[in-house]
Amino acid sequence: MSVHLQTERLALRRITAGDLDNLVALDADPEVMRYLGPPTPLQTWRDQGLPRILAYYEHGDDLGYWAVQERGAEAFLGWVFFRPHRDIDPPAPVDRSGIEVGYRLRREAWGKGFATEACRALVVRGFEALGVERVYAETMAINAGSHRVMAKCGLRHVATFEYPGEGEPEVQYAVTAREWRG
């Protein structure tokens, strides 16, 4: 297991091809996908999603996606990411002026502070070790649980907007390195 980062309770490790079934099962839960859309089919994960995630590792261990596990356990709880904007794939040059943090966890892992713990660790690492200038996160305006996670990670609400054609308002939370250190 290639551990990227550890927290008090969690290990964030590289996602592998062996996680394909975990990724499909995670997205098959309607509650997990409540604010995200329909489940991601096996073929889409196999042919597009997993290769996109694995491509990050070819460019170093700074940015990308990581599986979340409790320390000392093997169970896949979900994943977190710390990446350039979703429309930019590696190996495009990374603009560290805006790095997105996000997560998706199995329902059994909800309410335990795991999302906050994992995302906060990525934010801290981004500012203290990676030279990131700004961290942001986006979610649907009606997703109150994710709003709480973002706030607990030190991000604050900065915008409400709509992506063309998506219909539901989104929110962005963010914090700059200067604000973080202040």
Region label for 155, one of left (φ > 0), alpha (ψ between -120 and 50) or beta (otherwise): beta
Q: What backbone torsions phi and psi does residue 166 show, to the nearest 5 degrees?
A: -95, -25
Least Cα distance to 159 among 79, 89, 98, 88 occurs for 98
Q: What backbone torsions phi and psi does residue 76 show, to the nearest 5 degrees?
A: -80, 115
pLDDT of residue 47: 96
Least Cα distance to 139 among 108, 163, 107 occurs for 163
Query: What's the CA gap between 144 and 159, in Å, rounded?
Result: 15
pLDDT of residue 166: 72
Query: β-strand 64-70 against 170-176: which pairing, if any?
Result: unpaired
Highest CATH level, class, for 3-181: alpha beta
Tell me the pLDDT tens digit for each residue of 59-77: 777 889 999 999 989 899 9
Q: Are 155 and 173 in contact (CB under 8 A)?
A: yes
Q: Give the chain's residues under pLDDT 50.
A: 91
pLDDT of residue 54: 92
pLDDT of residue 90: 53
Domain locations in the chain as residue ranges: 3-181
Tell me the pLDDT tens digit for each residue of 117-149: 999 999 999 999 999 999 999 999 999 999 999
